[in-house]
Amino acid sequence: MKDQARPLSRGRDAWWACLSVILVIVLSFFFRWSSNIMDKGPTWDERYILVPITDLVQRGWTVETAIDFQEAKGPAMIWPYAIWGELFGDSVNTLRLLSLICFIVTLLPLMWLALRCGLPPPSLPLLALGLFLLPFEAVLAQLVMGEPSYVLGVAIMLAVVIWGSMREFPGGMGLDRTESSGRGFLGPFLYAIILVVLLHSRVHVVPLAGGVCLALFCRDGFRSWPWWVASIIAGLLRIPLWMRWGGLVSSDYQGMHGLGLRLESLTYFGAAFAVLFGIFLLVWFARYRHLVFWWWAPAGVLLGLFMGIVVPPDLIDPHFWEEINVKSISLFLGPTRSLVVGVSPDESLQWIPLSILCGIGLGGLGAFGAMAFQYRSDESIATLSRLQFFTMLCAWGLYMFTHGFVFDRFILAWTAAMPVLWIGMLPRWAWFLQTLVLIAYLSLSASSWLW
């Protein structure tokens, strides 16, 4: 495949990978020991997640404790923590250590993706920094939360997709026919297995499956059918748990995570996209003359402004869920809400900053997509960036059909590849600006969650 892949040599280049892993380990344990989290008992969602985990450890593995528990996460998230608790103890800090390990290991498939996309080994420490700064990833890795193990699974799945979708291109580039046909079966097969596991962790992985299928269809056309079949089979295997629970999540949480029609979610998520993709809108101004789909960026800006004006979300109205004793909490929650409410305490004027942020977020996503389609189809970064673009479109669109909570941290479920793509797609000055924004974002979220 003509993607300028860079395997690590046994010499100096391998040290960059070691340095990157060490950097993530040092930063992770610095957060663990310097924050107040070690002195805290169960906090935030841990109060709910720990219940089925401790039940498995203390009461044993039965259908009631292993499947019929009450939580928004699935068995694929709960079971590993229960096994860890049986082996090493079920204290909250011991269980939190598993989250930290998952976070650190996530760097490994991301480094493989970076090298496959042509990034030089000296950029791997920047990748490690990008993973640490990925919104909410380093913070939630300090807690017993569903995200750390899920993001690890997503990173592995993306690596499998890039590896398994390599094929022979016209002109002799890429794999020989034997190797290509072997991966043509094994790639979708492994992808389906990982997707099944992730679907039983959290249903947020559905947009990623859409991103995989659409990105490979854009490159391979109908030859991408094995990936579509693998996605459909994986989705069908999630139906038994849906039928047993009577919904996407267990019964007590279905009022918070269910199906419905609500356009306001699109506006809020569009605004939340600004921190991840807004930098691409800035880069677009310098590159739009060279982009075939240059108009996606202004179209996204106009759509975002329109959404903010016509269907602004209510950031003030509290909601209650008696089933799990949730009292007086906004449906829309996260740094985006905090910024909008802080800038405009007057509820009647909050549509103004929301419109601006949504315009930046969707415009940035459009610019990102236009840049993704400028790469040659035989480059891995083309496949990965298009996969990311279609994933965000699918995620954004699907939330029109959901009701319940809309949190900024949900976006983490779809953005595991962004540390690679920030380095691979942004010029140095833009990557530096994005890093400053992410540092500020991390400081805000860490001060709220860990201190």
pLDDT, mean of residues 311-319: 80
Q: Give the domain extent around 66.
A: 12-449
Residue 389 lies in a domain: yes
End-to-end CA distance of the chain: 47
pLDDT, mean of residues 80-100: 94
Q: What is the pTM of this model?
A: 0.92
Residue 211 lies in a domain: yes
Q: What is the pLDDT of residue 289?
A: 81
Q: How many domains does the chain fold into?
A: 1
Residue 1 pLDDT exceeds 50: no
**Buried-exposed string 116-139: b where 16+ CB fall within 10 A, e elsewhere:** bbebebebbbbbbbbbbbbbbbbb
SS (H, E, C) 62-76: CHHHHCCCCCCCCHH
Residue 172 lies in a domain: yes
CA gap 186, 166 in Å, rounded: 12
Residue 2 lies in a domain: no
Residue 79 lies in a domain: yes
The distance from CA 79 to its chain's CA centroid, rounded to whole angstroms, is: 21
**Separation in Å, CA 228 to CA 196, 211, 315, 362, 381:** 14, 11, 38, 27, 21
Using alpha carbons only, how large is the chain's radius of gyration in Å? 21
pLDDT, mean of residues 16-32: 95
Residue 6 pLDDT exceeds 60: no
Bridge partners (DSSP) of residue 333 are 407
Residue 140 lies in a domain: yes
CA gap 148, 98 in Å, rounded: 9
Residues 6+ apart with CB under 8 A from 48: 71, 72, 324
CA gap 184, 182 in Å, rounded: 5
Residue 103 lies in a domain: yes
Bridge partners (DSSP) of residue 407 are 333
Mean pLDDT of the chain: 89
* Candidate from 196-205, 247-256, 298-307, 406-415 with smallest mean pLDDT: 247-256
pLDDT tens-digit series, residues 240-289:
999 998 888 887 777 777 677 889 999 999 999 999 999 999 999 988 88
Question: What is the maximum alpha-carbon separation in the chain?
Answer: 65
- Name the band, by pLDDT with cuts 50, 70 and 90, for residue 169: very low
Exposed, middle or buried: residue 200 (CB in 10 Å: 0-12, 13-18, 19+)? Answer: buried
Higher pLDDT, 330 or 170: 330
pLDDT, mean of residues 105-124: 96
Strands 332-333 and 406-407: parallel
Higher pLDDT, 348 or 295: 295
Pair 107, 118: CB distance under 8 Å: no
